[in-house]
Structure 1
Amino acid sequence: MLHSGEVRSQEHAPPASTEPEPALEPALPIIDPHFHLRDYREADDPRPRYRAADFAADVAASGHAVHDSVFIECSIMYREDGPAPLRSLGETAYVAQQAGRYGPLRVSGGIVARIDLAAHTPLEALIDAHAEAAGGRLRGVRNSIAWDAYGPLAAMGPDPHLLERPAFREGLRHLARHDLSFETWQFHPQIEQVTALARAFPENRFVLEHLGAPLGIGPYAGKLDEVFAAWRKDIVALAQLPNVVAKIGGLGPFWQRDAATPVTSQALARDWRRWIETTIEAFGPERCMFESNWPANSSVSSYGQIWNAFKLVTQGCSDSEKAALYQNTARSTYRL
């Protein structure tokens, strides 16, 4: 199963064509509300690891003033035995153990866990167990639905109809009682499912990841203008619901890229601008937050270039708008 934190061909190192860039607006305070870790129980596992200290080192090297962060579940360090719904407690406990201060950065100030909301398990007890394992850091739950009929994406694993299932919807009601947000990773043709869910559960708080993850590969390759038109319609409709906030980031890993074109923050800003500006216009800055989606986005750029690109796009924003986009929305959404 591939999750949004996983990278198939690139690990957490940026592409070879990337050149280091100095941070723009280096004093601007940032909360990164979407990053992942990579670790494995087997000591001889050949897959590269990416731990909290690695994330802190990437943040420090970027020169950006990232001072807090939110870990998003990505199926690591699960328990190896016991009932299936309880195994993800291993990830929550592991992340909590890695959490803390690394210089000026707080790693995993908040944790969004994987709790199977459709599981035939007493959810109150399961949520309480994750809250305890998270050491007071549990802020939300993610169950993803990312799927497309295009072959490589059709095999990704999540149930594309999960949000419609009665068992899941019954489980979702528990999150509002615990003041936990719900978020899902989906592709742009699935945004309407998120809209229908958020409309049906106005008492819940929802987070749209990766601007709805517009696709630009397979049957969508070379058709970004068409994708943008369809995506924009769905984003504007979703933004009408006041219980939804949007994460801005995660663009690129599912787009075609010209390997001969050098990676620069200027190039990223050019490619991302219309998607970012449309989302901010639709939701308003107070319901938008920038995210790195690191290290999944390492196949696209360096960590620092992601924030430079965002800052280039928001050059014309006011100080209060920047404060919302770069930290305040994340702080209020995840109660940091």
Structure 2
Amino acid sequence: MNEEILEPDLPIIDPHHHLWDLRPLMGAFPEPRHDFLEALIDNAYYTFDQIHAHATSGHNVIGTVFMECGAFYRADADDAMKVVGEVEFVNGVAAQSASGLYGDLRLCAAIIGHADLLAGEKAAPVLEALGDASPDRFKGIRHQGAWDADPNVLGAPFHAPEGLYRDASFREGFKQLGRQGLTFDAWVLEPQLPDVIDLARAFPDQPICLDHCGTPLNIASYRGKLHERFDIWRHNIHELAKCENVTIKLGGLAMAFCGLPEKGPAAGTSSEDLAAMWRPYIQTCIEAFGTDRAMFESNYPVDYWGAEYPVLWNAFKRITQGASADEKHALYAGNAARFYGIEHILPKR
């Protein structure tokens, strides 16, 4: 869909995208494929050329943050250390971008990897190895906790253990993040938000970022229940916002899980229509967290399900049309730069 780019000079740091090659894995997923996987068929290979093309498609994206996704793990390492391969791979992509041969954009200026925090204290050497793989760019980890009693909500193979963030072994591993000065990204589904609240209260000094507005659900047994569950979601978002160590990512709503829109992939929905669907969620998050603890994200290529990259950012800009210049700077770039420690890529104001 061709749309005029709104506010084309507004600097953006896209704080959440993936890089991967899922082509060798597609045949291993059971048929019929979950909508999440169907949305990725056209983006099964997504690395430098693809993210660079999207990030330079009209909006003023000045840098990005890579988010772990289980890509390019080391084949010849023990299970705990396989994850280091992902950071090594992404650091190479970041170096390619930082060469300046492809313009001023700094892809993967920050890298969020993965370590199994259920390993408790044994997670510490893994975190150290991740840092050694990219000393300047590795900033933290995500250990996703998404789970639901209905197996059709997530589909194979994405389920985390039930109650992961409350697990004693997980929390022993979680302590290692603070000891190494690392951030934590949390991905859960909307009914699990109390788990993140409990975790944030238990570790008030640990920087935590909640991904994807807490992932409202409009899929499987939750289909048609967005309105019914909105007040539950809103209450939990406001409770979580009371934890000053938590920041929230504004996005992810174009995923198949959220069904906003339901028709995908790449439904061709206009930014006006997307803004109307997303506004209640985005505005609630900003109302709760303020403009200093929230950041817009693309979640690409997953959000390709319902929004092309330029249209997605247009929708966000429509929602913040009445915000001040300082508020926009914070929401689109400043907060991401501060949270992930990449202030050096911000343009001088």
TM-score normalised to structure 1 length: 0.89
The one-letter code of the counterpart of 1:334 is Y
The one-letter code of the counterpart of 1:34 is H
RMSD: 2.1
Describe the superposition over 1:57-111 as per-residue Cα deviations: whole angstroms up to 9, x where unpaired: 11112x0000011000000101123321111111111111111333221110001
Task: Give the Cα separation in 1 of the matches to 2:217 and 2:124.
Answer: 36
Deviation of the 1:243 alpha carbon: 0.4
CA contact 1:85–1:121 (8 Å) conserved in 2: no
Deviation of the 1:320 alpha carbon: 0.9
CA contact 2:187–2:211 (8 Å) conserved in 1: yes
The one-letter code of the counterpart of 1:293 is N
Matches for 1:119-138 after TM superposition, within 5 Å: 119=119, 122-138=122-138
Aligned counterpart in structure 2 of residue 238 of structure 1, from 234, 240, 244: 240
The one-letter code of the counterpart of 1:224 is L
Q: Secondary structure at the match of 2:292?
A: helix
Residue 167 of structure 1 corresponds to which residue in structure 2? 169
Is the counterpart of residue 297 in structure 1 residue 303 in structure 2?
Answer: yes
Task: Give the Cα separation in 2 of the matches to 1:258 and 1:207.
Answer: 26
The answer to which of 124-133 and 71-80 deviates more is 124-133
Residue 128 to residue 317, structure 1, CA distance change in 2 (3 Å): same
| Aligned residue pairs, count | 317
Q: Secondary structure at the match of 1:31?
A: strand
Residue 258 of structure 2 corresponds to which residue in structure 1? 255
Task: Give the Cα separation in 2 of the matches to 1:43 and 1:122.
Answer: 29
Which ranges in structure 2 are unaligned for 5 or more consecutive residues?
Answer: 29-40, 343-349
Aligned counterpart in structure 2 of residue 176 of structure 1, from 175, 178, 198: 178
CA contact 2:64–2:109 (8 Å) conserved in 1: yes
Residue 201 of structure 1 corresponds to which residue in structure 2? 203
Identity between Structure 1 and Structure 2 (%): 41
Q: Secondary structure at the match of 1:272?
A: helix
Residue 127 to residue 264, structure 1, CA distance change in 2 (3 Å): same
Aligned counterpart in structure 2 of residue 52 of structure 1, from 42, 48, 54: 48
CA contact 2:268–2:307 (8 Å) conserved in 1: no
Deviation of the 1:51 alpha carbon: 0.9
Task: Give the Cα separation in 2 of the matches to 1:265 and 1:224.
Answer: 20
Describe the superposition over 1:90-144 as per-residue Cα deviations: whole angstroms up to 9, x where unpaired: 1111111111333221110001101111226633322111011124211111001
Matches for 1:132-151 after TM superposition, within 5 Å: 132-151=132-151
Residue 188 to residue 133, structure 1, CA distance change in 2 (3 Å): same
The one-letter code of the counterpart of 2:49 is A
Which ranges in structure 1 are unaligned for 5 or more consecutive residues?
Answer: 1-18
Residue 266 of structure 1 corresponds to which residue in structure 2? 272
CA contact 2:144–2:186 (8 Å) conserved in 1: yes
Matches for 1:1-336 after TM superposition, within 5 Å: 19-39=1-21, 48-61=44-57, 63-99=58-94, 100-101=97-98, 102-119=102-119, 122-152=122-152, 153=154, 155=156, 156-253=158-255, 254-256=257-259, 257=261, 259=263, 262-336=268-342
Residue 44 to residue 294, structure 1, CA distance change in 2 (3 Å): closer
CA contact 1:221–1:255 (8 Å) conserved in 2: no
Task: Give the Cα separation in 2 of the matches to 1:141 and 1:267.
Answer: 34
Q: Secondary structure at the match of 2:117?
A: coil
The one-letter code of the counterpart of 1:179 is G
Name the structure where helix makes up a greater proportion of residues: 2
CA contact 1:220–1:227 (8 Å) conserved in 2: no
Deviation of the 1:154 alpha carbon: 6.0
CA contact 1:148–1:154 (8 Å) conserved in 2: no
Task: Give the Cα separation in 2 of the matches to 1:181 and 1:165.
Answer: 19
Task: Give the Cα separation in 1 of the matches to 2:120 and 2:282.
Answer: 39
Q: Secondary structure at the match of 1:285?
A: coil
Residue 255 to residue 170, structure 1, CA distance change in 2 (3 Å): closer
TM-score normalised to structure 2 length: 0.86
Relative contact order, CA 8 A, sep 6+: which one is greater? 1
Task: Give the Cα separation in 1 of the matches to 2:51 and 2:268.
Answer: 24
